Homo-oligomer: A and B are copies of this chain.
């Protein structure tokens, strides 16, 4: 590893001059600059970011903790986060919490030890005290992504989950459905799932329809089948439309419904939440509430960097969602449009904070 000292020696200048050349922080005489440049080239010198970070108290790195990379929603968010960071010359440290609270805390602590200049996190619940304490105690700015803002917690980038779920409900009701139900991941382990439930249930109440049944399933979605059988067991009272708290779940539900001999959307309509890309290509293509995951990641990084740059970005950032209508929803008893499949441009939606 060649250091600034060797460069200085080679160029017959002091390390201070080399440093100044590197950061062009003060006038370095052209001739001196040339010597330094040559030395750097000759020795193939790359400044050591660790030494730099120690002195400047800035690592020029941001951290991000997400539940899992296997979910395209989070992968996209990381993608946007990385892009925003890179654009400003920052790098990214990333890790996953595997939907585990304990692991989540550990991850945050690890990244803070690395002195990241900002930390984005999808917490299981935004009101989880331990994590918030850790984050608040730190000098680095942080942002919760996908989580629900609360009066105490405004450092959030997300969509209005309740309003978005309401739009899903309205879509189904417009299609003529009256008996609705929701299948969701564990509510206790996800504040966003809870909000989606609230929004869905609330919208249905406002429309004067009977309260929907809500069923929780595991994240693994292994237990979708029995839940579905139980839910759809009695044809007389069977819901005709299902809202799923995320796209993976929706896809699993459609698969299970198929295997149960039900056809989507003829027998039952299904709406997802997330808007993952590949869900477009399914047969039936998935009707889903699209959240701008890339933008969520991007905005989170940007907000923290702005904050560090002395600005005071308005928080929380609530990004627009949209309802992408696919083939998985239709008026009861009708099949959706079939081949050739219509291209459904995302339909932007104004209903946001």
Chain A contact residues, CB within 8 Å of chain B = 1, 44, 46-51, 53-54, 59, 61, 68-70, 72, 75-76, 78-79, 82, 86, 91-96, 109-115, 137, 139, 251-252, 254-255, 258-259, 261, 277-278, 281-283, 339-341
Q: What distance in Å separates the Cβ of A239 from its nearest Cβ neighbour in chain B?
A: 21
Top 10 closest pairs, chain A to chain B, by CB: A283-B283, A75-B75, A69-B79, A49-B113, A259-B340, A69-B75, A49-B114, A94-B94, A50-B53, A50-B54
Closest-by-CB residue of B relative to A95 is B82
Can you pick out 15 interface pairs between chain A and chain B where the beta carbons lie within 8 Å of each other?
A46-B112, A48-B113, A50-B50, A61-B93, A68-B79, A69-B75, A70-B79, A79-B96, A82-B95, A82-B96, A92-B93, A93-B93, A255-B281, A259-B340, A282-B283
A50 to chain B, nearest CB (A): 5
When distances are taken between beta carbons in the complex, the residues of chain B under 8 Å from A72 are 70, 72, 75
Report B-chain residues with C-beta under 8 Å of the C-beta of A255: 281, 341
Q: Which chain B residues lie closer than 8 Å to A112 at the CB level?
A: 46
Complex CA–CA separation, A112 to B79 (angstroms): 21
- Nearest B-chain residue to A64, judged by Cβ: B94
Cα–Cα, bound, A304→B29 (Å): 44
Complex Cα distance, B258 from A278, in Å, reads: 16
When all copies of this chain in the complex are counted, the total is: 2
Residues of B close to A82: CB separation below 8 A: 69, 94-96
**A75-B86 contact, Cβ under 8 Å, with A47-B113, A113-B46, A340-B258:** no
A1 CA to B53 CA in the complex, in Å?
15
Point out the residues of chain B lying under 8 angstroms from A91, CB to CB: 93, 95, 110-111, 114
Interface centre among A93, A278, A283 (most CB of B within 10 A): A278
8 Å CB contact of A251 from B48, B75, B278: B278
Chain B's nearest CB lies how many Å from the CB of A46?
5
Do A251 and B281 have beta carbons less than 8 Å apart?
Answer: yes
| In the bound complex, CA of A110 to CA of B52 (Å) | 13
Chain B residue with minimal CB distance to A47?
B113
Cross-interface CB contact of A50 among B75, B115, B259, cutoff 8 Å: B115
Q: In the assembled complex, which residues on chain B have CB atoms less than 8 Å from the CB atom of A59?
A: 50
A229 to chain B, nearest CB (A): 14
Q: How far is the CB of A255 from chain B (nearest CB, A)?
A: 5
Contact pick for A94, options B92, B109, B281, CB 8 Å:
B92
Closest to A139 in B: B1
Most buried by B among A109, A114, A258: A114
Chain B neighbourhood of A48, CB < 8 A: 113, 115
Instruction: From the candidates B50, B61, B70, name the one contacting A277 in the complex (CB within 8 A).
Output: B70
How far, in whole Å, are A327 and B140 apart by their CA atoms in the complex? Answer: 51
